[in-house]
Structure 1
Amino acid sequence: MATSALTPTAETSEALVEFPDNFLLIDLCGEYDSNLTAIESALGVQILRKGNQLAVIGEEGARTDAVDVLKSLYQRLEAGKSLDHGDIDRELRMGNPGPENPPEAGDQKELFSGARVEIKTRKKLVEPRTDAQKRYVQSLFENELAFGIGPAGTGKTYLAVAVGVNMFIGGHVDRIILSRPAVEAGEKLGYLPGDMKDKVDPYMQPLYDALNDFLPAKQAAKLIEEKRIEIAPLAFMRGRTLSNAFVVLDEAQNATTMQMKMFLTRLGEGSRMVITGDRTQIDLPRGVASGLWDAERLLKSIPKISFNYFTSKDVVRHPLVAAIIEAYEADQP
């Protein structure tokens, strides 16, 4: 809880919110009231527990926001969903915008619960935590080719893989293909031991990490063995036509112009393709143009190709990551 107590004044007042289920209230507060502390810190209010009520003390706007967040999180618990730091962060960033028009039966937009966008996978329910992430996820369902461009930690690849797994288990695609250029990030690793898989797997590890978040390990391993999920370097895509697949190219800023053209022209019938990248982290040799820059310049006017942009405000890793990104952006000439 906040260390400095707020006393109701002319500027600040108290709002009482009642929660009927004491067990759910315990989950809402979190261990050692950690969830309440997060809300207090973010909104500048004080939250006190009084039996099965929470008293929120603060200025009117902040107090109203805090009450809305608490009610929304409690409704989440009532619906049988879990509550963790990410859910609190999402609620603080996005709030509860209320219901939208209900989707038509059988439409893929049934994945959208009212104004919320939810991505169901085998292991967890994934929800965007910023407005930009929400628009991005919606564009992945609505467009055959989508770009996600922005700094590290904004969920570009993570959400793309989540949507791919969702579409795969829903029968909308037959395969998932995850790829990235095998480019070293500013250091020479030398020759790596082992066979081809051993040599390229270190470059592909972030894709394995995302995939393992959404599928049980044994199921993921079986699907990879059956080639229904492929994780491979960009160079392995040459000469193929990728049909009925959900295809993700990660770290696309490290693809050359020719590699990007090669990859984009792999798109086949019934497939969806997602290109993610960060224009500030190009690891190509000096003088080699980034294919992501050229794709953005050449394809922006083509209908049904979506470009989605993220900023440091969309970083959902540790809060320090956003501060670090902003510091580097401010230092750019």
Structure 2
Amino acid sequence: MAITPLAAPTDGTPVELSLEFPDNRLLIELCGEFDRNLAQIEHLLSVHLLRRGNRLAVLGEARAEAVEVLKKLYARLEAGRGIEPGDIDAAVRLGGSAEGTGARDGDQIEMFQRGPLEIGTRKKTVEPRTEAQQAYVRNLFTHELAFGIGPAGTGKTYLAVAVGVNQMINGHVDKIILSRPAVEAGERLGFLPGDMKEKVDPYMQPLYDALNDFLPGKQLQNLMAEKTIEIAPLAFMRGRTLSNAYVVLDEAQNATAMQMKMFLTRLGQGSRMVITGDRSQVDLPRGVTSGLSEAERILKDVSGISFNYFTAKDVVRHPMVAKIIEAYDADAGPVG
């Protein structure tokens, strides 16, 4: 792949970069249907892309960055992997740099020695899309206890569940346990129809949604029937010792200080634990201390525990979500 700079006649500064691609079929895939992939890159980087045969001309202030993004996406196609809008967004967020790391200990994280950082599951391969997400995923593999703290839409729970499924299907843990505090926000549990499972399931639905993304439906049903995968309210964790398990506590900002201590002390031999939460979305009664905030304060200097923080820049949902979060942060008022 060759890059040809076209210089301005006055000072020699390149005004255009021309990128040549050896495989025209892959170039067509790179451009996307009706050039939609190119249009997305143009929008994200404020550049202009022109196709000339097997070349792409790149104009604009961010032309060098756009070239790196195009090279990374083309390399992805050469490796036999497709391109989705999220992949383009990730390449732009990461500056087009190839993802690689140095050697690390343990066969669980051998993946870090082989190019792109990926999480393999039964249904799909998941890739972190921002630098914060990459650091978070590395810590999920290398730490027995990891915290992910930040606003909604930053992938805290989704990536944690993906790593859990990866660990289970590769035999590193025997089971997955996903938990959330069943905090009442508006309706009371006792007033909802149905038995206890039917009352609690609406609180657990985001965890079911994540699992459905990573495991075929029938396999997921069988694993849950066998208790290899459990989804339960935080209150159900009392008295248990969780050995050889991958354990996730989601929405941890709604755990009380006592509940958080109870949950953290469930960690057994061969287990890993992930705590995720958003400090701006506490639904506890006024005056009740959030267990997430207290754990963060008490455990911040404990060796072997990682804390990863996300901001609106790490939101991977609709771009409007990031703008909403930034607006609330700027207002500095209470978030309902």
Identify the TM-score tier after normalising by the shorter chain: over 0.9
Which residue is equivalent to 1:45?
Answer: 47
Structure 2: gaps of 5 or more residues: 1-7
SS of alignment partner, residue 209 of structure 1: helix
Deviations 1:121-178 (A, max 9, x none): 1111111111111110101111100100000000000000000001001100000000
SS of alignment partner, residue 60 of structure 2: strand
Instruction: State how far apart, in whole Å, the 2-side matches of 1:18 and 1:123 are.
Output: 35
Deviations 1:32-90 (A, max 9, x none): 2111111111112110111222111123xx11111111111011011111210110011
Deviations 1:250-271 (A, max 9, x none): 0000001111011001000000
Instruction: State how far apart, in whole Å, the 2-side matches of 1:93 and 1:99 are.
Output: 12
* Residue 106 of structure 1: how far off its partner (Å): 6.5
Instruction: State how far apart, in whole Å, the 1-side matches of 2:213 and 2:55 are.
Output: 36
2:318 aligned with 1:318, yes or no? yes
2:60 aligned with 1:58, yes or no? yes
2:116 aligned with 1:116, yes or no? yes
Amino acid at match of 2:176: I
Deviations 1:269-291 (A, max 9, x none): 00000000000000111111111
Instruction: State how far apart, in whole Å, the 1-side matches of 2:79 and 2:299 are.
Output: 43
Deviations 1:285-314 (A, max 9, x none): 111111101111111121101111111111
Amino acid at match of 1:300: K
Residues 141 and 74 from structure 1, CA distance in 2 versus in 1: closer, same or farther, beyond 3 angstroms? same
* Residue 184 of structure 1: how far off its partner (Å): 3.1
Which residue is equivalent to 1:197?
Answer: 197
Amino acid at match of 1:324: I
Instruction: State how far apart, in whole Å, the 1-side matches of 2:17 and 2:219 are.
Output: 49
Residues 227 and 13 from structure 1, CA distance in 2 versus in 1: closer, same or farther, beyond 3 angstroms? same
Deviations 1:71-122 (A, max 9, x none): 1101101111121011001100013434756547962222225553211111
Which residue is equivalent to 1:284?
Answer: 284
Deviations 1:308-332 (A, max 9, x none): 1111111111111000000000111
Q: Are the aligned partners of 1:251 and 1:276 in contact in 2 as well (CA < 8 Å)?
A: yes
* Residue 31 of structure 1: how far off its partner (Å): 2.0
Which residue is equivalent to 2:183?
Answer: 183
Deviations 1:165-209 (A, max 9, x none): 010011000000000011134555762222222111111000000
Which residue is equivalent to 1:5?
Answer: none
Q: How does 1:142-161 map to 2 (within 5 A)?
A: 142-161=142-161
**Number of equivalenced pairs:** 324
Amino acid at match of 1:266: R
Which residue is equivalent to 2:25?
Answer: 23
SS of alignment partner, residue 302 of structure 1: coil
In the superposition, the TM-score normalised over structure 2's length comes to 0.91
Residues 9 and 324 from structure 1, CA distance in 2 versus in 1: closer, same or farther, beyond 3 angstroms? farther
Instruction: State how far apart, in whole Å, the 2-side matches of 1:280 and 1:292 are.
Output: 11
Instruction: State how far apart, in whole Å, the 1-side matches of 2:302 and 2:52 are.
Output: 58
Which residue is equivalent to 2:301?
Answer: 301
Q: Are the aligned partners of 1:249 and 1:275 in contact in 2 as well (CA < 8 Å)?
A: yes
Q: How does 1:245-264 map to 2 (within 5 A)?
A: 245-264=245-264
Structure 1: gaps of 5 or more residues: 1-7
Q: Are the aligned partners of 1:136 and 1:148 in contact in 2 as well (CA < 8 Å)?
A: yes
Residues 118 and 23 from structure 1, CA distance in 2 versus in 1: closer, same or farther, beyond 3 angstroms? same
Q: Are the aligned partners of 2:109 and 2:142 in contact in 1 as well (CA < 8 Å)?
A: no
Which residue is equivalent to 2:170?
Answer: 170
Amino acid at match of 1:21: D
Instruction: State how far apart, in whole Å, the 2-side matches of 1:104 and 1:282 are.
Output: 37
Which residue is equivalent to 1:36?
Answer: 38
2:56 aligned with 1:69, yes or no? no
Amino acid at match of 1:119: I
SS of alignment partner, residue 248 of structure 1: strand
Instruction: State how far apart, in whole Å, the 1-side matches of 2:150 and 2:183 are.
Output: 19
Residues 101 and 255 from structure 1, CA distance in 2 versus in 1: closer, same or farther, beyond 3 angstroms? closer
Q: Are the aligned partners of 1:186 and 1:283 in contact in 2 as well (CA < 8 Å)?
A: no
Residues 9 and 65 from structure 1, CA distance in 2 versus in 1: closer, same or farther, beyond 3 angstroms? farther
Q: Are the aligned partners of 1:12 and 1:58 in contact in 2 as well (CA < 8 Å)?
A: no
Which residue is equivalent to 1:233?
Answer: 233
Amino acid at match of 1:137: V
Which residue is equivalent to 1:222?
Answer: 222
SS of alignment partner, residue 44 of structure 2: helix
Amino acid at match of 1:219: Q
Q: Are the aligned partners of 1:259 and 1:291 in contact in 2 as well (CA < 8 Å)?
A: yes
Amino acid at match of 1:243: S
